[in-house]
Amino acid sequence: MDCLFCSIIKGDIPSTKVYEDETVYAFKDINPMAPVHVLIVPKKHLSSINDVTQENSGVIAHIYEVAAKLAKELGISESGYRVVSNCGADAGQTVFHLHFHLLGGKKLNVTMC
Ligand code: 5GP
Ligand code: ZN
């Protein structure tokens, strides 16, 4: 399967790694929307939130654990940050490998939609 983020996880496409463990990979977004803009992705390919089930949802909790850890390390845990996952066309999802944007380091736009 041809998937950009699977290729990044494998190292076939370069990325700026921020964190890695057995189940997740985190790297800097190539087009940052904020001073801190990290993408946290499960290593196992899931296309979007639509693929989350009772069997695999543990990785989502782990991703939030990693988001909290990275927010602390990157110095935004007290100033504030946002974790976002776009699902499908109306949300503007462009890469169909489930990912969570960790955004912070500035006053973020408050609009939710
Ligand atoms: P989405 O729009 O699907 O929620 O987010 C996809 C994100 O992936 C975008 O913020 C985009 O800048 C980022 N992105 C797309 N291609 C690459 C790439 O090759 N490397 C990195 N590091 N980020 C990418
Ligand atoms: Zn993938």
pTM of the complete model beyond 0.85: yes
- Res 113: pLDDT: 84
Pocket of ligand 1 contains residue 92 by CB under 6 Å:
yes
Say which ligand is closest to the CA of 99: 1
Return the pLDDT at 112: 82
* Segment holding 27, helix H or strand E: strand 24-28
Residue 57, token pair as written in the block: 């949802």
The per-type count for the chain, helices as H runs and strands as E runs, is 2, 5
Question: For residue 55, how far is its CA from the centre of ligand 1 (angstroms)?
Answer: 27
- Determine the atom of ligand 1 nearest the C-alpha atom of 13: 19
Hey, what CATH topology would domain 4-112 get? Answer: HIT family, subunit A (3.30.428)
Sequence spans of domains, the chain: 4-112
Averages of pLDDT over runs of 10 residues in the chain (113 residues) are 95 98 98 98 98 98 98 98 98 98 96 84
